[in-house]
Amino acid sequence: MSKRARISLGLVAILLAANLVVGYRVYSAEATAAGEEEAFEKISVMMRVIHLIRKDYVDGDKVGYQDLVYHALHGMVNSLDPFSDFLTPEQLQDMMEETEGEFGGLGVIVTTRDGVLTVMSPMEGTPGFRAGLQPGDQIVGIEGESTEGQKVDEAVSKLKGKVGTAVTITVHRPRTDATWDVTITREMIPLTSVKDDHLIPGTKVGYVQVLQFSDPTAQELETKLRKLLQDGADSLVIDLRNNPGGLLTSAVDICSLFLKPGELIVSTEGRRPSQKQEMRSNARGWRVPDNIPVAILVNGGSASAAEITSGCLHDHHRAILVGERTFGKGSVQNVISLPDGSALRLTTAMYYTPSRQVIHHHGIQPDIEVALSDDEYRQLALAANVIDGVDAPVKAEDRQLQRAVEVLQGYVSLDAGRKGKADPEKEVQQAQAPAAAK
């Protein structure tokens, strides 16, 4: 390398380091002078490393400034938590496409837990769901290559692909210690919000399933709930099982269907005062009548906005939760655009339910726990005729739904029988005690 080239490289390093320190000062107004000096020192070390790689690394094709800086940013941000990440312009575009409508893939929401690529929620009716993937399954290999150490976005890019093509993944299920390979054909994944609304046969219990939280979800749910009540429903089951969440605004709108205006839905807290916020129910026109009992079905695939909704309605005593503990994804990520078209997705706060329960890593514990076995989950999928290679539906018992129906019918019967009682609250306590023991 010529002396002039070394001087130019040195100037680039100094200018970049200076810019980073200026940014540090702007975003950390409370930093001390000693802290700024340490930042400058460490940034200088990073730039020295980049200089040495550029000058001496054996493979010159791998030492472009953009690649080196992008990889450094990936490593730095990924070390914080599984949900923070640095997004290249291409990755940012992919993320925007996935939130806008349809994308080609398996229909499986993944994250990392303890450094392992883990299924958070398989979206019902998608190839991943039909292949029998369940919340908590670990994807330990993709096309024979280990996923150990892979970033989530890197793994997702390998799972996605052209519609009609296939990908083979290696799955490990910790609950049973089973490991197997499965080949799944990619499909266009429609982002359906609400489905399967009906009166449960032989009852007046209305049922509706919410698959995700997107812009139209609240309006779609309102339409279907109105119809169920018009058809004679005296209680409601809202199925949030395997719902990976989505938009916070959608969760607020859905909770507002059941609460009076101005009631606390969820709060956030971070390090900065500006990150302390409260989201409250809005003044929507129509609401589910207060005398309509509600049960919400949850399981390990219920995450994010699904946990906010179930936690809120539970804390306000507006719904009873039935099923299994939820996933525990309760952190706030902000996507911050950067000058070159890339972006920083950064965890800035945590979600708290109205009763100050921490959702993240803890999840929401249901009032009535009904755990299903792997075989029961498979039988339910077979009954819905969504398992690949199975043409005829079979009968299967959904014990979580059955328990929710029993509880709701008990509430309705109790409400009818308590009218005219001298001490209605005592009657409620007496009726609830045996129900909880079932």
Looking at the fold, whether 198 and 185 belong to one and the same domain comes out as: no
pLDDT number for residue 382: 65
> Smallest Cα–Cα separation from 201: which of 232, 240, 239?
232
CB count in 10 Å sphere of residue 84: 18
Count of structural domains, the chain: 3
> Smallest Cα–Cα separation from 85: which of 100, 73, 96?
73
**Residue 90 falls within a domain, yes or no?**
no
Looking at the fold, whether 58 and 106 belong to one and the same domain comes out as: no
pLDDT number for residue 103: 60
Looking at the fold, whether 177 and 201 belong to one and the same domain comes out as: no
**Residue 40 falls within a domain, yes or no?**
yes
**Residue 82 falls within a domain, yes or no?**
no
Q: Is 315 a catalytic residue?
A: yes
Instruction: Give 102's pLDDT tier (boundaries 50, 70, 90).
Output: low
pLDDT digits (tens, 9 = 90+) for 63-73: 898 989 999 99
Looking at the fold, whether 211 and 326 belong to one and the same domain comes out as: yes
**Residue 69 falls within a domain, yes or no?**
no
Q: Last residue of some domain: 190, 205, 232?
A: 190
pLDDT number for residue 3: 46
**Close Cβ partners of 153 (under 8 Å, ≥ 6 residues apart):** 85, 87, 91
- What single string gives the DSSP state of each residue in 41-107? HHHHHHHHHHHHHHHH-S-GGG--HHHHHHHHHHHHHHTT-TT-EEE-HHHHHHHHHHHHSEEEE--
Task: Give residue 396's domain range.
Answer: 194-334+342-437
Looking at the fold, whether 241 and 351 belong to one and the same domain comes out as: yes
CATH number at residue 383: 3.90.226.10
pLDDT number for residue 74: 87
Strands 320-323, 368-369: pairing is: parallel
Q: Last residue of some domain: 190, 209, 226?
A: 190
Q: Last residue of some domain: 140, 168, 190?
A: 190
Q: Is 160 a catalytic residue?
A: no
**Residue 93 falls within a domain, yes or no?**
no
pLDDT at 307 over 90: yes
pLDDT digits (tens, 9 = 90+) for 76-98: 998 898 888 899 998 888 777 65
Residue 421 burial by CB count (10 A; 0-12/13-18/19+): exposed, middle or buried? exposed
What does the longest C-alpha to C-alpha distance in the chain come to? 97
CATH number at residue 117: 2.30.42.10
pLDDT at 418 over 50: yes
Looking at the fold, whether 231 and 130 belong to one and the same domain comes out as: no
**Residue 74 falls within a domain, yes or no?**
no
Annotated catalytic residue, options 193, 304, 310, 331: 304
**Residue 233 falls within a domain, yes or no?**
yes
pLDDT at 166 over 90: yes
Annotated catalytic residue, options 214, 315, 331, 398: 315
pLDDT number for residue 184: 95
Q: Are 307 and 324 in contact (CB under 8 A)?
A: no
Looking at the fold, whether 353 and 403 belong to one and the same domain comes out as: yes
Given its phi and psi angles, is residue 338 left (phi above 0), alpha (psi -120 to 50 degrees) or beta?
A: beta
Segment 283-298 mean pLDDT = 93
pLDDT at 242 over 80: yes
Segment 272-276 mean pLDDT = 88
Looking at the fold, whether 311 and 178 belong to one and the same domain comes out as: no
pLDDT digits (tens, 9 = 90+) for 181-198: 999 999 987 767 898 899
Distance CA 285, CA 135 (A): 36
pLDDT at 53 over 50: yes
Instruction: Give 354's pLDDT tier (boundaries 50, 70, 90).
Output: very high
Give me Rg for the CA atoms of the chain: 26
Instruction: Give 316's pLDDT tier (boundaries 50, 70, 90).
Output: very high
Segment 316-344 mean pLDDT = 94
Distance CA 193, CA 215 (A): 9
pLDDT number for residue 7: 39
pLDDT number for residue 416: 72
- What single string gives the DSSP state of each residue in 305-329? HHHHHHHHHHHTTS-EEEES-----
Segment 328-347 mean pLDDT = 91
> Smallest Cα–Cα separation from 72: which of 50, 93, 56?
50
pLDDT digits (tens, 9 = 90+) for 7-28: 344 434 433 444 444 344 444 4
Lowest mean pLDDT among 149-163, 214-228, 296-310, 408-422: 408-422
pLDDT number for residue 391: 47
pLDDT number for residue 315: 98
pLDDT number for residue 8: 42
Residue 381 amino acid letter: A
- Which helix (H) or strand (E) segment is 280 a member of? strand 277-280
Looking at the fold, whether 142 and 287 belong to one and the same domain comes out as: no
Annotated catalytic residue, options 256, 329, 331, 398: 329
Residue 9 burial by CB count (10 A; 0-12/13-18/19+): exposed, middle or buried? middle
Instruction: Give 175's pLDDT tier (boundaries 50, 70, 90).
Output: confident
**Residue 273 falls within a domain, yes or no?**
yes
Stronger pLDDT, 221 or 378, i.e. the higher one: 221
Looking at the fold, whether 232 and 317 belong to one and the same domain comes out as: yes
Looking at the fold, whether 198 and 184 belong to one and the same domain comes out as: no
Instruction: Give 173's pLDDT tier (boundaries 50, 70, 90).
Output: very high
Evaluated on CA atoms 70, 74, 75, 76, the torsion sign reads positive
**Close Cβ partners of 128 (under 8 Å, ≥ 6 residues apart):** 106, 107, 108, 119, 122, 184
Segment 308-333 mean pLDDT = 95
Looking at the fold, whether 157 and 285 belong to one and the same domain comes out as: no
Distance CA 343, CA 136 (A): 29
